[in-house]
Every structure is written in C-alpha cells, then in structure tokens.
Amino acid sequence: MSICVSVVSHPHAGGRQSQSLDMFGFRALKPAIAIYPQFLEMLVSRLSSADHALCANALQLINSLMRDSITYDSEAEWPKFIQKLQDLGVIRAVYVLMQDSALQDLAHPLLEFQSLTKVLLRKWKEIPLNQEKPEHRRAMKGIFLASSPNKGTDEAAENGDDTKKSKRHHPDKWQRLGFESESPAAEFYEVGFLGMMDLADYVRSHQDEFQKMLLEHSTKPARQRCPIARASLAVTSILYEHFEVDKSDMDDSKNYMLMESRSSLDRLFRPLLLHWTRLHVAGLQAFFRMWKATAAETDDLDKLVELVRILIESVVGGASRTKDVQDVEEELANFEYNRLRELQMELLELTYEDAWGQHLRQVREELHHEALQFVKEQRIRCLLQGAWFSLESNSKSGPGSTPRSNASHQYVQLSHNRRYLHFGEFNALGNRAPELDALPEKSESNVPLDLSTVSSVVSNVSTNPDNASSSTVKTAPRQTATKVTIHGYAQSTSTSHSKGHNSHTRSASRSTQKEVVLLVLRPSSHSIASEWLDGLLMLLNQQPITAETTKLIDLVGNYGLKIRLLNVRFDDAAFAGEAPPVPARDGLDEDYYYDVFGGA
C-alpha cells in the first residue's frame, strides 16, 4: 500500500512531465485497475480495518488517486472516478473515522480528505452552468420532468424538442419551479454546477414532496408561491460560506500544528461537511417550513434566507465532532421559529457592537449612570411623598416602644431635608395622607428616625427578575407578605438632638453599641416595597437590589440609547467627501402652513 502511495504521489519533473504522466499518478494504476476491477472496492474496505497503519495508508492512497485525477484528468473523467468512490461507500467510511476516538492516528490523511472534499466542492462551484453540455442539459431536463408537467410537455421533452414546444405550452416553465425568469442558467452564476447538483439531488430524492409543493402553490398568486429553486441555490451558498470552502488552500502544515491536543482536533475536523447533500436538504426543508409558518411572500425571500443562515450557523456550527448527522437533521427540523428570531436579534446587537464598539459602550455607560440618578430621584420622591403601611398589634414601631393593640396602620414620610424618617401610628387609614407637621414627634415611641444612625436595610422582596411580578411568600395568616426592616444603632432622645458630637466620637460610640431594629415597614404591594427598599438604600449611597428597580433603570437607559441613535445618520458614510449642497429657496414665498397632526 505504501509503494502504491509513492507511485501515485511521485512528483513530476518539470521538463519530463509529459513523458512521466503514464509512469506515475492515477494513470500508472489504471491498467492494473482495469485488470482487477475489485481493487477500488478492496481499497475502500480497508478503511474499516482495525490496523490503523493499514487504514491510514489506504486512505492516503485514496487521497492521492483523487488529487491526481482532479488535477490531470479531463472534466468528463474525474467526476466519474469520484462518483465511483462515493458509490463504494468512501464518504460513510471516512465519516466514521472522523468521529472515532482513535482520531490522532489518522489525523493527517483524514485532514487531507477533508481538504480534498472542499477542493471538489469549489471545483464544482467554479463550473458555470452551460446547457450546451450534455450532462448539464440532462440535469436541467431531469428537474423539469420531476416537476410533473402536463402530458403534452412531457412528450415534447422526450422527443428532444423541449425548448420551443415546452415554452409554448408552459410560458412559465421555469418560473413555476421557483426561478426568477425563463433563463435559469444565469441564476446559477454564484453557485455554478454545485447548485445544480444540490437542486437535482433534492428533486430526485424528494420528488413527491417537490410535486406536492408545486401543486399546492399553483393555485396561489405568484407572489405567494415558494421559490423552490432560488431557495435551493441560497442554501447551497449558505453551506459554502459556513464551511469556508474557499479556504481549502491553506497550508497543511499550519493545520498539523493544531493537532497537539484533543480539543484542537475537535475544532479542526468537520465530519458534517462530508454529508453536504443531507445538510442541503435539511436546510431547504427548514426554509419551506418557515415560508409556510410566516405566510411569506416573494419580497420576503432575503429575510427568510437570513434566518436559514442563522439556523445553520447555530445548529451545524454548534454541533460537536461526534454528533451524528441524523441528530443534526432532527434539530434543524424541530428548531422553533421564536427562538430563531431571538438569535437573530442577539446577532444584530453584536453587529452593532462590532460596528461601533467602544463608542457604543461608552454611551451605554453614560446613559446607565444617568438612568441610575433618574431612578434614584424618583424613588426618593416616593419617600418624600410618604406611604401607608400595615401594623401588627404586637409590633414595635421604634426603639423603646410598647405594644399598641389599637393601632392598625402607620404612616411614614421622609423629611424635606432627606435626613429623617417621620412616622406615626393610626387606628385606620385616613382619607388623605397626614401632613408632615401633624405626625407625632415628641412621644417616646415616635422619635424621628435619623438616617445617619441606619446601618443596613434588609427585606424579603424578590431580587430575581423572573419573580418581579410576584411578592407572595408563605407567612402566618393576616401577615403581610413583604417586609422591609431598617437596622441601626439606637440613640436616646437627648443624644439624637445633641449637636456637639463630632464624627470621631460617634464612630467610637458605635463600635460599642449593639445593632437593633429601628423600624419595620410592611408594604401592601411589591411596587411599594421596591420603591421604599431601594429608595432607602440609595439614600444611604448603596446600589438598588430589587428586580423592579433594575428593570426600570434598564428601561430608561435603553430608551435613552434609542433616542441617541435616532440622531445617527446611517448615510453619513456616503458623504465621506464633500457634502451635497443645501437646496436653494429661490422662487419660494412664505405662503405655507404646517399642520401639527397631518404634516405640511
């Protein structure tokens, strides 16, 4: 096997190339293959050998035969040889090897086969569709006949006169199959004969589905008919870009350097590339499902093609080396449209990030700070406005207070200087909020709470955005679900009104004081709890923690970003040079008015 590899792979001398063609390369083995036709079948069977060295040599010989045939055989010969190898099962055998755990021993010949697969795809793509060539004409004719045209057209095509007669009987002979015009050859410009092969393979393997779609769409207006042919060519182009087929000429030595670890091998090998046809069919069927689900029209073709591109990038691109092609097909078939739209929006955001990068991040940081200050002021104003809270019969309103069974509610309000919390207990809710001056301040149980004595504010309010709409937790009967507890250092009345203590003395006294509960608030709703908890935290120069406040900050910041973006002209790039002149007002008078609601 090694000798055969050397014979086929022997380099040709520059001046003696014409004489040595029959001595080396594929031609050197042609006489032996003609005598022993089972040679290629035996060679492919060696790919399943347990002897890794024999398996590697067999694959290396197959690679050498393929490369030599592609390079030196005529356009009519090398596709026949490639097709013969595929019929013998070489694709399936190499696919199994690429997914095997013993990949390291066969890495080099497998990588070469993968590279040759890209060479073949690129070579087929570079062959322009030419209906003068018999094989091209037969392929086009097969697609048309598979569409189940009427009997008269079938007879005309079978008699070889499928040009004039078919056009006479079918003025939309090709447009009904999804081509843009009656001259389909021009539409294969981007994908060449590769696109023709993919479309022909789908039509041949899914003829019933193909005919059923054409029949269903024949009763619809032209704009609502699914462009099957153009969709097929688009999926071919998507796969071609996804697998980076144009990069198959990379220096092999660079790839070999990546083979030092298992993770590198998993990134380098793309077994799904070998199942190109199956991926094309799965991608095309995904396009059909989205066309039907979205009730798309012809003008929506580009939008759906972009969705299919994202789908293939997500599913095929995210598949591991050992993931079976059947699992990939099922995932493509079951991928939810809503999830696909979410991926599209995420990619759009990343595109803006890439385009504007640092400038966009800087604007977002500025807007987040502005939104934080805006929401902070809003939350503090809620405290300045005051709110009613329920009061338990056995609760204590402040330090040193005694139970008051006759009080059911308390009213709390922030002072105008934002330094004290005033509160009072009441038997029932009043028709209107009490005035700040009317709140009892002198009694022992209602000393205004000095915010400088507050050490922490805690609560059972949810900080999870998913739970922001629910504030209920399991508590005892008649007990409010949410609770905000203010902790701090208790002070005597005389101390609280003393003006002579400096900050050093206060810090020293706090180190010896014990932290106690200064005030307990039981809000009646999650929104009030969020306002007061985060309002108190922000007064203490701490970050807000509730999901509702965080959502509000993000909302304000995002609106600010959108308003900023409205001032960005996307056509500024078109005026890289001199800006166009401002239109003159010559000949215009002032006889006009502007309707605010209807326009000028």
Which of 421-435, 439-453, 486-500 is modeled with the greatest confidence?
421-435
Residue predicted with more confidence, 163 or 4: 4
Query: What does the pLDDT average to over 510-522?
Result: 79
| Per-residue pLDDT band at 285 (split at 50, 70, 90) | very high
User: Which residue carries 């010559």 as its tokens?
Assistant: 586
Task: Assess if residue 369 is contained within a domain.
Answer: no
Domain check: are 101 and 185 in the same one? Answer: no
Phi, psi angle pair for 388, to nearest 5°: -90, 145
pLDDT at 545 over 70: yes
What pLDDT shows up at residue 263?
61
**What is the average pLDDT across 581-591?**
74
What is the model's pLDDT at position 280?
A: 96
Residue 401 pLDDT grade (very low, low, confident, very high; cuts 50, 70, 90): very low
Q: Are residues 421 and 320 in the same domain?
A: no
How far is the C-alpha of 449 from the C-alpha of 454, rounded, in Å? 8
Are β-strands 515-521 and 484-489 bridged in parallel, bridged antiparallel, or unpaired? antiparallel
Same-domain status, 301 and 437: no
> Tens digit of pLDDT for each residue in 308-349?
999 999 999 989 888 999 999 999 999 887 888 888 777 766
536 inside domain? yes
Which of 88, 108, 126 marks a domain boundary? 126
Assess if residue 251 is contained within a domain: yes
Residue 200 banded pLDDT, cuts 50, 70, 90? very high
Does the residue 587 lie in any domain? no
Q: Is 150 in the same domain as 54?
A: no
What percent of the chain clears pLDDT 70, i.e. is strictly above it?
A: 73
Instruction: List b or e across 131-170, with b for residues whose CB sees 16 or more CB atoms inside 10 angstroms.
Output: eeeeebeebbbebbbbbebeeebbebbeeeebeeebeebb
Q: Both 329 and 379 in a single domain?
A: no
Same domain? For 302 and 393 the reply is no
Residue 569 falls within a domain, yes or no?
Answer: no
Q: Looking at residue 542, which CATH number applies to its domain?
A: 2.30.29.30
- On the question of pLDDT at 495 being above 50, the answer is no
What is the band of 511 on the pLDDT scale with cuts at 50, 70, 90? low
Q: What was the pLDDT predicted at 176? A: 87
> Number of helices (H) and strands (E), helices first, in the chain?
24, 7
The last residue of a domain, from among 126, 157, 177: 126
Residue 154 and residue 76 in one domain:
no
Q: What are phi and psi of 515, to 5 degrees?
A: -75, 130
Query: pLDDT by residue (tens digit) across 206-236?
Result: 999 999 999 988 888 888 899 999 999 999 9
Residue that has been written with the tokens 């955001």 in this structure:
349
Owning domain of residue 170: 134-335
In a domain, 577, yes or no: no
The CA distance from 226 to 297, in Å, is 8
- In terms of pTM, does the model score above 0.75? no
| Same domain, residue pair 466 and 540 | yes
Q: Binning pLDDT at 50, 70 and 90, where does residue 252 land?
A: very low
Q: How many CB atoms lie within 10 A of CB 410?
A: 24
CA distances from residue 39 to 35, 61, 88, 569 in whole angstroms, order as listed: 9, 12, 11, 67
Tokens coding 553: 């900050």
The pLDDT assigned to 268 comes to 83
Domains in the chain, number: 3
Considering the domain architecture, whether residues 324 and 383 belong to the same structural domain is answered as no
Question: Does residue 465 surpass a pLDDT of 70?
Answer: no
Residues 55 and 139 in one domain: no
Query: What pLDDT score does 339 carry?
Result: 83
Q: Is 31 exposed, middle or buried (0-12, 13-18, 19+ CB in 10 A)?
A: exposed
What are the backbone dihedrals phi and psi of residue 278, each rounded to the nearest 5 degrees, phi first? -65, -40
246 or 430, which is more confident: 246
Mean pLDDT of 175-197: 89
The residue assigned the tokens 């000393």 is 447
Decide if pLDDT at 158 tops 50. no
Cα 142–chain centre separation: 38
- Does residue 122 sit in the same domain as residue 139? no
Examine residue 188 and state whether it is found in any structural domain, yes or no: yes
Least confident of 254-263, 322-331, 512-521: 254-263
Q: Are residues 292 and 405 in the same domain?
A: no
Q: How many CB atoms lie within 10 A of CB 315?
A: 24
- Residue 509: predicted pLDDT: 55
C-alpha distance across the termini of the chain, in Å: 85
**Mean pLDDT to the nearest integer, 351-366:** 74
What is the rounded CA–CA span in Å between residue 394 and residue 376? 33
Identify the pLDDT of residue 293. Answer: 87
Average predicted confidence (pLDDT) for the chain: 78
Average pLDDT for residues 551-574, to the nearest whole number? 71
What is the arithmetic mean of pLDDT over 397-404? 47
Of 335, 366, 396, the position where a domain reaches its end is 335
Residue 217's pLDDT is what? 86
Q: What is the mean pLDDT of residues 105-122?
A: 90
Residue 367: inside a domain, yes or no? no
Say what the alpha-carbon torsion angle 428, 449, 489, 459 is, to the nearest 10 degrees.
50
Looking at residue 599, what DSSP letter applies?
B
Which segment of 91-100, 476-485, 554-563 scores lowest on mean pLDDT?
476-485
- Measured CA to CA, the distance from residue 520 to residue 457 in angstroms comes to 10
